[in-house]
Structure 1
Amino acid sequence: MLKTIIFDMDGVIIDSEPQHAKAAVRTFKELGADVDIEYCYSFIGSSTKKMAETAIKDFSLDISTDELLEKLNKTKKEMHEKEGYIAVPGVIELIKRLYRDGIQLAIASSSSPKEIETVVKKLGIKKYFEKLVSASQVKHPKPAPDTFLLALEKLGASLEDTVIIEDSENGVKAAKECNVTCIGFSSPDAVKPQNLYKADVLIESFDSIDKTFIENTLLRSHGKPITIASTKRLIIRELAVSDIPQIYTIYSDPQVRKYIDNIDDYLDAEIEKQKAYIQKVYSFYGYGLWGVFGKTSKKLIGRCGFENETIDGKDEIMLSYLLDSEHWGYGYALECCEAALRYAKENLDMNRIVVVIDHDNSRSIKTAEKLGFKYEKDVVFNDKDRKLFSIQL
């Protein structure tokens, strides 16, 4: 259960990286070091102290670490006083929403304690954070986990209930060293794109992020499937690895198999494909092919969901569904598809959805029409002639 969220500050709450880099270049040049801005960007996600220590060695600077830190912080302060602090779009609104939702919030940043304090005061968000933690309070800055571990200790938070939001490669590495779920913020305006592949999910904006999204990311990172919908007779949820043998049994039914493309003949190979699908697709898109379970029996009886496909040269979102043949003719397909379409409209902001159906699959054609899909045209999909139906939500 989601209880705590820890934010990085620079690049996540404030768009400060360009200012900090320019301030560092100016300071180093004043000391006679021929430094370009790319050198300073290489320390994104680490601490100013680490940059100072490294620069002294790299350029044989005749100055102590403390003296250089003082100069760097003075230049940054002058730049902030002149230009102000620029909040990352959407993040303050997100912080306020999470606070209202009762989530414990903290900042764990590579900036100094004084600078963190100044930023939250200037932006009017100090009251939303229970703890403000600086890398200067630990021995090893990011990518070491020390900064986040100190924050967790001060908050009394557990690893299992915490999510970290980071924008740098070093920060993501530090989060995962703690074994904490991490959301990687990849800003389209980032001055130096970061390698965030270790994050559990990547986002490019805070505008559509909420507690539910973050909570779902936490659950997925711990291998717990998300429930999509509960109907009168069915539960629709993300598939887990343990479900794969059951779904393969359904796929192997000759009556079902003739309507499915690209199923491997060997269970081990199919399991590996499905594992990769479960681990990547749900978190990346927020949707995929979900499992359909009997509400009373708890038994997997099929799957239903959405896939991204190119059909007749056009990118489409396609509704896909199938049930084991024992459950045909009882309205289960209509029930699970209605729930999926409702979820798409309310949670996924989908507008146009299509289905592609074999010409002889009269049962699925009838279901599509009951759902409100309208026939558009015949198409060739996966090397077969089929019918294309569409709906506007």
Structure 2
Amino acid sequence: MAVVTETKRLRLRLMKWDDHADIMKIFSDPVAMRYYPSMKNDEEGNFWINWTLDNYRKFGVGLWVVEDLATGEFLGMCGLVPQKVDGNVQMEIGYLFVRKHWGKGYATEAALACKEYGFNHLKCDKLISLIDPDNQPSIKVARRIGMEYIKNITKWNKTIAIYHVENR
């Protein structure tokens, strides 16, 4: 298991093909996927894993699996994802969690670990999060890790809010 980083309660590790069933716990949940264009079927889940593994190869980062440090239980995904915004590639802190684990601070803890990784290991000047403007829980996570709203853009055929934090 290729561990990227750990926090007090969480392990963030590289995704692998064996994670498909766990990832589908998020992608097949209409509530968890409310702010995405649509839920994902098994084939789209496979495409997602392949896209993530490709990000690892090309950029050295991507979404990582988040596990409970004590039990190893799959909680969700969080990581650094290269995203094209206004013609430039920027590093996004992205996060998706299994609904039964919402409200426990896992997304904030994992996103904070990704922020620290981006600033300390990758030496990023700034990090962004791309969030549906109606997704208040994700906006709260972004704000808790020090991000501020910049503006709305159109991406993935919908309005997306950009939040960012600078490395100071």
Q: Are 1:347 and 2:87 counterparts?
A: no
8 Å CA contact 2:4–2:12 kept in 1: the answer is: yes
For 1:248, the aligned partner's letter is M
- Once the two structures are TM-superposed, the CA of residue 319 in structure 1 deviates from its matched residue by 1.2
Q: d(CA) in 1 for partners of 2:90 and 2:80?
A: 10
1:374 to 125, 148, 151: 148
* Partner residue in 2 for 1:306: 80
- Equivalences for 1:218-229 in 2 at 5 Å? 225-229=1-5
For 1:244, the aligned partner's letter is H
1:357 to 114, 131, 153: 131
Which structure carries more relative contact order (alpha carbon 8 Å, separation 6+)? 2
* Partner residue in 2 for 1:337: 111
Structure 1 residues not aligned, in runs of 5+:
1-224
- Whichever of the two has the greater Rg, that structure is 1
SS of the residue aligned with 2:91? strand
TM-score, reference length from structure 2? 0.90
More helix by percentage: 1
CA deviations over 1:342-366 (Å, ceiling 9, x no partner): 1112211211111111121111111
Q: d(CA) in 1 for partners of 2:131 and 2:49?
A: 27
1:252 to 18, 21, 28: 28
TM-score, reference length from structure 1? 0.40
Structure 2 residues not aligned, in runs of 5+:
none
Cα RMSD after superposing both structures: 1.8
- Equivalences for 1:1-393 in 2 at 5 Å? 225-261=1-37, 264-265=40-41, 267=42, 269-393=43-167
Q: d(CA) in 2 for partners of 1:376 and 1:279?
A: 30
* Partner residue in 2 for 1:128: none
For 2:36, the aligned partner's letter is I
Moved over 6 A (4+): none
Aligned pairs, number: 167
Q: d(CA) in 2 for partners of 1:246 and 1:344?
A: 26
